Structure 1
Amino acid sequence: MTAICYEIVTYRTKDTDQADMVREDARALLTSQPGFIAWTPFKGMNDANERVDLVAWTDHHSARVAAQMVANDAEFADFRGSVATVTSMAHYFAASFDPQPVPAGSGIELGRFRLKPGTEESSMRVAYAAMVSRHLTHQPGWRRQHLVKLQDGTFIDLAFASDQDHAEAICAGWIGNADCKHFLSMIEPVSMEFGTIV
């Protein structure tokens, strides 16, 4: 999987209450963009007009596309208008830090499967990693993915999304994708369930 891209923006707003409102509107707009993981908003402890936004993306390309949208699209005009000054804005990565939160309300998909006879686990894992990094991480609402091996030799694909609807949509999006097709050719599905983290 590619390194998570962090966008860190430090700035000052003109009016705290109005800035809070348009900031939340901007965050809601970005949640549907491919590659979005999370937006953590900070306020200054001594001055609430001092702001830092930490936005996590699955890859640098998604972060750059979104930054252009925020800078130019009309739907972000109120957010731009709430900013008095921008101190800095840059992209970073932290390979050892786990940035993909899965809070209450997030959707989850549990897909249980076995390997087809003759399939090497190592080959399946390579195919799984390619499917996740090249396709699934770029789907709207995707948050995190884990492959779990059980004691009986079966596996669970544990996938998290922003909500259950997105979890189901991501799963439906496997159809027709070459990386997903390659992975599916190696496994025998046992069961699939969807739910919501409480």
Structure 2
Amino acid sequence: MIKNSNIDRIGGMEFATFKLKEGVKESTLVALSNRLELEFLSQQEELIMHFLVRGENGIYADVAIASSQEKAEAYCQQWLSNTVAMEYLELIDTESVNMTFWTRIN
């Protein structure tokens, strides 16, 4: 999802890798991610882009690109009070999560 193609707006991001809980299908993750986009993330003005990627060995990454690292961190905190976000988080093996925040430097 891109709200504005102006790359100059990108200032920070959240990058979280994780595995799904045993028995959870990728299609369930994608469906909840799409709901999250519609019902929550699309309302965040400083969120520029959000997407999922799949790597090797069952590793996924959730990426949120925002106007600043601080905004990315703030949106991440808001997940904990959003019903759809909590459903999404329930799919994830919490022991596998590695969440980092980044600031654009060029």
What TM-score comes out, normalization by structure 2 length? Answer: 0.86
Match of 1:159 among 64, 75, 90: 64
2:34 aligned partner: 129
**Unaligned residue ranges in structure 1 (runs of 5+):** 5-36, 38-98
Q: What stretches of structure 1 move > 4 A for 4+ residues in a row?
A: none
Distance change in 2, residues 1:160/1:186 (3 Å): same
1:30-87 deviation line (CA, Å, top 9, x unaligned): xxxxxxx5xxxxxxxxxxxxxxxxxxxxxxxxxxxxxxxxxxxxxxxxxxxxxxxxxx
Deviation of 1:166 (Å): 0.5
Which runs of no fewer than 5 residues in structure 2 stay unpaired?
none
Structure 1 position 138, deviation (Å): 0.8
Counterpart pick for 1:196 among 100, 103, 106: 103
Partners of 1:167 and 1:112 lie apart in 2 by: 15
Q: Structure 1 residues 101 and 151, CA, compared in 2 at 3 Å: closer, same or farther?
A: farther
- Of 57, 78, 88, which residue of structure 2 is paired with 1:173? 78
Equivalents in 2 of 1:134, 1:142: separation in Å? 14
1:35-184 equivalent positions in 2, closer than 5 A: 37=3, 99-103=4-8, 106-184=11-89
Q: Distance in 1 between matches of 2:5 and 2:84?
A: 23
Structure with the bigger RCO (C-alpha within 8 Å, sep 6+) is: 2
Taking a change above 3 Å as real, the CA distance of residues 134 and 105 of structure 1, as seen in their structure-2 partners, is closer
> Structure 2 CA distance, aligned partners of 1:173 and 1:154?
24
**Superposed displacement of residue 192, structure 1:** 0.4
Q: Over alpha carbons, which structure has the higher Rg?
A: 1
Partners of 2:69 and 2:35 in 1: CA distance: 24
- Matched residue type, 1:196: T
Which secondary structure state, in structure 1, belongs to the residue aligned with residue 45 of structure 2?
coil
Q: Is the 8 A contact 2:10 2:66 kept in 1?
A: no
